Structure 1
Amino acid sequence: MITRRSMLAMGTGLVAGSALTPLSTQFSFAAPASGGLTMYGPPVGPSVTLASIAAQGKLDEAANGKVGFEIYKSPDVLRANFISGDWKLAVTPSYVAANLANKGLPVKMLNIMTWGMLYVLSYDGEVKKPENLAGETIGMFFRNDMPDLVFGTVMEKKGLVVGKDYQLHYVGTPFEALQLLLSGRIKHCVLPEPAATAGLLKGKKLGKKLSRAIDLASEWSAVTGAEGRFPMAGAMVHQELLDKDPAFVEAFHTACASGTEWVKDNTMAAAKIAAETMPLPAPVIAKSIPATHLTTQRASDIRTELEAFYSVLAEKNPAIIGGKLPPAEFYL
């Protein structure tokens, strides 16, 4: 069963400022139809790409009308709307897609749109690597979920045992973790983007010397042999949409690829577009983009990498992916 906590995780948690809501509030799309469609998303990294796609009309022709973009805020509706069939395409933490597929929903993973967006923020300028956190307490959100499992795997591979060599201070959300950090109640904290960027900017305004001490994507690479990244979130598609309009699905993937490159090359312009719909100021959005590791990778092309990611997460919590790896046809 997918719990509310697992649905709230991503990545992919992952918002900043006054709108700190979880990644798994999800990007969602109405099915293509004459007259256009609306895309929905939370105020996080890949939504910058989607906002730009909408503003530039990249999918209007494929949808036979205007494609719009709106922020979607409820954290608990993804599973219900896929079960009901109301939603056919969504960007989700990659493990959520695997879980839903293993629970019997006819969904496939189309692509990955962001690599790991998890960082350790710290007041201690000497913290540069996981080993420097020995003997420390670190703030963590979503216990036994993806951020916790990624961090725990990195620390374990470095020979550090939780409860013995370091402590975790668990809280419910990235916002709570950030508040603890800014209040000085903890010295180190795991945060996703754009919460990490928002924390750094807020800390600077408060005269606090916070730093982005550890990039967990790089550390994940060091301990697992991955390529300096992990497949955190991407687009999930319902089989009904694939059967009904495969051309639109391909157009969407193509738009994601070109839109991602445009965002990375035009961070402030993209941030200004996104700020029209996302409850985040353009400077925060712009500064978070490079740290969000935006990409567009076809799921079938990185199946081995996805399976490796799922397998490591499942070592600590098999239920996170529904108890098994998805079948080959899950990867589009």
Structure 2
Amino acid sequence: MITRRSFLSHSAGFAAAASIGGSLPIMANAAAPSLSLYGPPVGPSVVLSYIANKGLLSEYTSKVDFSVYKSPDVLRAGFVSGDWKLAGTPSYVAANLSNKGLPVKMLNIMTWGMLYVLSYDGSVKSPADLAGEKIGMFFRNDMPDLVFGRVMQQNGLTEGKDYTLHYVSTPFEALQLLLSGRIKHCVLPEPAATAGMVKGKKLGKKIHRSIDLANEWASVTSGKGRFPMAGMMVHEDLLNVQPELIEGFHKACIEGTQWVKANPKEAAAVAAENIKLPAPVIAKSVPHTHLTAERAKDIQVELEQFYSILAEKNPSIIGGKLPSADFYL
């Protein structure tokens, strides 16, 4: 059952992670026989759960433990302290930490975007359909807000003139406004979007997944409908001591991603023990998480384009400049 407490903890925790670092910290020590993996509820953590449970890193370590973390501040503290060497993170957070002098690099991207507009109005299919409307939004001037605003701008819509945003602190608050009927539309990440639709159905409310902001990103870049939202960040200490582990982990990400996408119900069953959401919700969210496993160097142009677009309105989000070329592994 999805309780208010569990929904708040997991959806807000994930989206908070998505705004400042949310993700899959993995602690590793070159001399240690085990890896301890930590991650947010759902999203790429479903892949991490599979990697841990199926022994995909047995060639490099005797044991892999996975558990869900509660606070995104732990990610920052772990890397600043030097205790963490390999972590999943929103891609711009890795750039920010690198530009602040931490010896970190981007290994890969594990999701091509997980942001959606939910709406009561089934006729809403595109940004243009939100003209004149009020939309719930969390994390002002952070990644979700910047992505949505840029998509709307590209479609000729200006905030305050053509539409308005109702800012709240967490995705749970945005969804509560939607469920109470105080707003008709809101932006939510996965798995909050799926969990919210399930909650709405139980309340007898028809909520539509109206706009996939990843698909809409094509209008911004004149390229593919995707943006490099989150992936794995590596500390140079681990990269220098155990480069074979890093390569093995990336291969495990590829294998795990393919399996999770092909077997969402089975993947949810594996992950549900660690991710405190019902397995059916996890399974339903998987197709909307746009999982991938792309080497950062192979998509450096897309990453730099994403960073540059975010920085147009908020330069500090990436630390004021693009990372150096050797940031991308």
> Which amino acid in structure 2 is aligned with residue 49 of structure 1?
V
Aligned to 1:53: 51
Does structure 1 conserve the Cα–Cα contact (< 8 Å) formed by 2:52 and 2:65? yes
Q: Would the aligned equivalents of 1:178 and 1:199 in 2 still touch at CA under 8 Å?
A: yes
Instruction: Pick from 312, 316, 329 the counterpart of residue 315 of structure 1.
Output: 312
- TM-score, normalization: structure 1? 0.93
Amino acid in structure 1 at the alignment position of 2:215: S
Pairing 1:78-89 to 2, within 5 Å after superposition:
78-89=75-86
Q: Report what 2:39 is aligned to.
A: 41
RMSD after superposition: 1.2
Give the corresponding residue for 2:132. Answer: 135
Cα pair 1:140 1:189 within 8 Å, conserved: yes
Q: 2:217 aligns to what? A: 220
Q: TM-score, normalised by structure 2?
A: 0.94
8 A Cα contact 1:115 1:232, kept in partner: yes
Q: 1:328 & 1:298 partners in 2: Cα distance?
A: 14
Contact 2:114 2:214 in 1 (8 A): yes
- Report the 3-state secondary structure (helix = DSSP H, G, I; strand = E; otherwise coil) of the residue aligned with 2:303: helix
Amino acid at match of 1:37: L
Instruction: Answer yes or no: is 1:262 the counterpart of 2:243.
Output: no
TM-fit CA distance, 1:19: 2.2
Q: State which of 97, 100, 103 in structure 2 corresponds to 1:100.
A: 97
Supply the distance in 1 between the matched residues of 2:279 and 2:80 (Cα, whole angstroms): 35
Partner of 2:3: none
1:249 correspondence with 2:240: no
1:8 is matched with: none
Q: How many residues align?
A: 317
The residue aligned with 2:180 is 183
Q: What is the Cα deviation at residue 17 of structure 1?
A: 6.1
Q: Distance in 1 between matches of 2:84 and 2:282?
A: 27
* Superposition pairs of residues 67-86 of structure 1, within 5 angstroms: 67-86=64-83
Matched, 1:201 2:198: yes
Shift of 1:239: 0.5
Runs of 4+ in 1 over 2 A off after TM superposition: 15-20, 22-26, 32-35
Tell me, yes or no, if the aligned pair for 1:25 and 1:72 is still in contact at 8 Å. Answer: no
Distance in 1 of aligned mates of 2:176 and 2:39? 24
Counterpart residue type for residue 228 of structure 2: P
Q: Secondary structure at the match of 1:57?
A: coil
Q: In the alignment, which residue of structure 2 is the partner of 1:109?
A: 106
Assess if the C-alpha contact under 8 Å between 1:92 and 1:235 holds in 2: yes
Matched residue type, 2:119: S
List per-residue Cα deviations over 1:252-286 (Å, max 9, x = no partner): 10000000000001100000010011111100000
Amino acid at match of 2:108: N
Structure 2 distance, partners of 1:100, 1:324, is 11
Deviation at 1:291, TM superposition (A): 0.3
CA distance in 1, matches of 2:262, 2:108: 21
Residue pair 2:22, 2:90 contacting (<8 A) in 1 also: no
DSSP 3-state at the match of 1:110: strand
Structure 2 contact 39–67 (Cα < 8 Å) conserved? yes
State the Cα distance separating 1:16 from its structure 2 match.
Answer: 5.0
Give the C-alpha shift of residue 110 in structure 1. 0.2
| Counterparts of 1:212 and 1:224, CA distance in 2 | 23
Overall identity of the aligned pairs, in %: 69
Give, in whole Å, the separation in 2 of the partners of 1:226 and 1:141.
Answer: 27
Provide Cα deviations, 1:62-113, integer angstroms capped at 9, x if missing partner. Answer: 12x1111111112212122111100001100000000000011000000000
User: Quick one: structure 1 residues 93 and 25, their matched pair in 2 at CA, closer, same or farther if it must change by over 3 Å?
Assistant: closer
Amino acid at match of 1:54: A
Aligned equivalents of 2:109, 2:302: Cα separation in 1: 11
Q: CA deviation at 1:34?
A: 3.7
In the TM superposition, residue 35 of structure 1 has moved relative to its aligned partner by: 2.4
CA displacement 1:182-236 (0-9 Å, x = unmatched) = 1111100000001111111111111111100001111111232131100000000
Residue type of the alignment partner of 2:290: H
Other structure's SS at 2:77 match? helix
Please say if residues 28 and 34 of structure 2, whose CA atoms lie closer than 8 Å, have aligned partners that are also in contact. no
**Aligned partner of residue 243 in structure 1, secondary structure:** helix
Following the alignment from structure 1 to structure 2, what is the Cα–Cα distance between the partners of residues 82 and 265?
33
* CA 1:18–1:81: 2 relative to 1, 3 Å: closer
The residue identity in structure 2 corresponding to 1:312 is I
**Aligned partners of 1:97, 1:31: CA distance in 2, in Å?**
18
CA contact 1:193–1:291 (8 Å) conserved in 2: yes
